[in-house]
Structure 1
Amino acid sequence: MSAALMRILRRVSPRLQTVRICRSNSHKTEDFLKNEAVQRRIKRVMDEQKSITARLERGQMTESDRRALNQTLVEASRVINAFEKTQLALRELAEIQTLIHRDICQQFTREIFDMYQGFACYKHWDFEVCNYTPADYGGLHHAAVRISGDSVFRWLRFEGGTHRVQRIPEVGLSSRMQRIHTGTVTVIVLPQPREVDIHIAAKDLRIDTFRSRGAGGQSVNTTDSAVRVVHLPTGTVSECQQFRSQLKNRDTALRVLRARLYQCIMGQQREQTHSARRQQVGSRCQSDRIRTYNFSQDRVTDHRVGHVTRDIKGFLRGGEDLEDLIRILQEKHDLLRLHDIS
């Protein structure tokens, strides 16, 4: 039995209620427990405990051997108990850290929602809430809104992406230790799909007529009443041979063609929307952040232009500070477009 191993396990397995394991120490403890040599040693101790228990149950031994085995069993049980308590403490500590991270993200989501609501009010836009799912203790899981007004998408298109928050929790151990926690919120900005009015110019059509096909006899039309319409710019084809009247077949083929073109255009819009959504969501990693809100340093940093704004609470009100930053992003975008053209 390793006395050193026993001392280490006892030292790194305190009661969780005291929360004495800080994050850095928990990582070291977890690495220690995952060490191959430690794992092999723990397995040998567990195997030894099972073997001793089985021998004691058989009972064929002297009293001195029984006392020695009982002593060894007590030592093995202490090591295994310390190991299991340490694993339990690490799991519960991880759950606590997850809850803290989630609460920070939910609180930040509500603050971001309030910021854009304030910005819509500042710009005199209509702010219609489509979905609002609150979280516990005043946070927000997610929300969806429809904002309409003058040049809305021009102003908000640069807000899509990962927003990172860095702050010290208001309560708990992390608050007392002044430990900064980091979380992220993803903002997705999509334009309202436009209504599609399908206008087909006569010059873009090629209309062919042919005899309708059938099983023979009376079902075969002896005139060229069937119609095939080809939309030359897209190559979309529609044909109709349902009626004996060429005019009816032509009108039906044009309606089908218009529906197919509409479906194609809407499909393109959906693909553009999905592409924009994927680009803004990214991998949701902190490395994909577009902006960082650091509460402990009272600053907002936009990483695309390197712009730093102080007074984070004022920025989150969604007024002039946010407008100034977006204007800088617009100017950079316009300069890049001019550079590409030249």
Structure 2
Amino acid sequence: MFDKLDDTLRHYEELMNTLSEPDVANDAARFRKLMKEQSDLAPIVETYKEYKQCKQNIEDSLAMLKEESDEEMRELAKEELNDSKARLEELENKLKILLLPKDPNDDKNVIVEIRAGAGGDEAALFAAEIYRMYIHYAESQKWKIETLEMEEIGIGGMKSVNFMLSGPSVYSKMKYESGVHRVQRVPETESAGRIHTSTITVAVMPEAEDVDVKIEDKDIRIDVMRASGNGGQCVNTTDSAVRLTHYPTGIVIYSQTEKSQIQNKEKAFALLRTKLYDLELQKKQDAESAARRSQIGTGDRSEKIRTYNFPQGRVTDHRINLTLYKLDKIMNGDIQEIIDACIAADQAKKLANMQDEG
């Protein structure tokens, strides 16, 4: 590990020298690439420098204890030694985490798909609430939000919704939301006051670029039609809505959120590319051995990951055995604590897998 860290430190110093050259900013693409690399390496380099300083402090304290006869100075040296040893252990663990192989999709934007599952209208209402929860969370992160596709029902619920979140490292946080979300509560329509259980599914897909997925013209059928609103009323007098059918997979995309056919077509293709890329990722994960596959994060889409219990005001994440009694705050987008706990559990599992393999 330390040979790798010394190499990283040398490379970082070379990188900083290159960035300080006067003509490097003339090539915008190269400058962006170097700045991205510098930003990725900085946390590792800063932690390693502190680690080396900590080791030096331990050596200095041990030397002082050997040479010093004054009791007060010896006590100070012992205190410094204990503090440095504790910090050294923390920094070593932090370095192990920083050196874990990075998910190549972590920096990507995402498309989130929410679908009502079991529970009829109640599931559709919950789907709309989870959509709002993610919108509030995205706003707190200063991410850009763009709705791609939405199928609403008249009572304020949603059968399905697709939306894009754009910003720094969106997938690294949102990927832990994929799976089945379960709600337990008394529906407003229930006169007897019985608790019902409904489900929705959430799929978080890293945005696919043209280089990630190749779509052949022969595999696609494009239909254009007039957009329609709730109850089928006409909301547009031109053929602006676009439906894409992908023959090999049977995926159908319908886009009508924009007034222009060209924009709807672009959105439909962006969504199709992302869904095809996501299918490839799922196949790859299924092919990986159970020991290598992370159980937190982009796991099985049919896995029940979380329960929102309204009568008790609690939310439980079943993957990491975390229960929080702040349901109102969570439904308003305060989900960072859950995401941080998932990240920590994921890192711990990956470290354990590396040690087992080592």
Tell me the TM-score range normalised by the shorter chain.
0.3 to 0.5
Instruction: Compute the TM-score of the two structures, normalised by the length of structure 2.
Output: 0.43
More helix by share: 1
